[in-house]
Every structure is written in C-alpha cells, then in structure tokens.
Structure 1
Amino acid sequence: MARMEKFYVETLRKLETEIHELEIEADCSIQRIEIIVNLIVNSLYKLKMFVLEKGFKNTDEEIHFFKYKKPVIVSKLIYYNTIYKIETKKTYDVKLIIKYLNICISVIKSP
C-alpha cells in the first residue's frame, strides 16, 4: 500500500471512529456537532500537510486523491456543518412554535 493511501486510510478510520463515539450520545447538542466539525477540519489539515510534505508519486495518484479520497471527508464536513446551521437556527421558544403551527394550520385549512 502506498504511503499516501495508508495515511489516508488511517486518517479516515480514526475520524470515523471518533465521530461514531460522539454520535453514540442520545442528544444532538450544538457543542457535540462543533467538536465533530473541528475533528473533520483537523483531519483535512493533516491530509493537506501530508500532501505538502510528501507529495504524490505520480499524476494518477494526485487525481485519484482529489477526485475520490478528499471528497469523502469534505462531504462529512458539509453534512455536519448543515446540521450545525439547522440546530443553531432552531427556536426553543414554545410560544413561537405554537404561533408558527397555528399559521401553518390556517394556511392548510384556507381554500
């Protein structure tokens, strides 16, 4: 196994294990999502530093990395960042929720 492939597999495996351990918790707290986003960003940074230090053995390895490997980790960042945005915009004010639901019901009932 090439050193790039080995480093990538180890980085991805570690990241997925850490995410899985954090997701075992029942709640979907904003702090937990922040931790996961930071883990992903750190993994991407480690990959970047490895690439800058070691480089690729050839053009095919470089293309394969940027086309297939890196997007796997970036997609996790996009996913958890989206969850973070949803959770931070969510309201916990019961009166506002009831008001919103009443408006939705009235819109549905109106002809």
Structure 2
Amino acid sequence: MPDIGFLELLLVGVVALIVLGPDKLPGAIRGTVRTVRSIRSTFTGIKSEVGEQLRVHELHENLRKAEELGMKDLPPHLQASVDELKALAQSVQPPQIKNENDKRPESD
C-alpha cells in the first residue's frame, strides 16, 4: 500500500474541498469509500480463489506422485493428500440414480 503521510492526506482533502465544495464532499467521500471497499472485497475473493486453485493443483500433483509410487508405502504428506482427495471426491459425488427396474409398481 502506498505510504501516504499526514501532509499529503491533508493536501488531498483541501484540494477536494476546493474542487467539490462543502456540500458535495461528504457524498464523494462515501462513494469513494464504497468503491474502495468493493475493490478490496473483489481482490480478496480473487486471492482466495487463486489460493484454492493452487491447493487443488498441489493435491493433484501429490495424487499423481502417489499413483506413480503405486499407492503403497507412501510418505505421510502424500498419504494425507490422498486421504483428503478421497474425502473430497465422496462429498461431491451426485446421489445414486435409481434404475427403472428398481421401482416397484404402486398398487391402487
């Protein structure tokens, strides 16, 4: 973040007061604060999304290494990644679709 001192901030405030006037300055400040918050939340979302994608990529790499080792005698960090991937895979699997033959005819 830029290093803005008190004098620079005061100068920006005085210029804004002269340009906008005392009646429009509070609304402009609120709009600016709203915009800055929106930008920050957007960047925070992007940062978390990129972090999640990097984590998924790392898990896939660990799974690939585990498959190369034959899934036996894995180092603890690879075994933890494999277990985590298995748990994630089970949590996102869709529910089983019943077969048409499994349905029992309803008696009226």
Asked which structure has the greater CA Rg, the reply is 2
Length-normalised TM-score, structure 1? 0.40
Q: Relative contact order (alpha carbons < 8 A, sep ≥ 6): 1 or 2 greater?
A: 1
Length-normalised TM-score, structure 2? 0.41
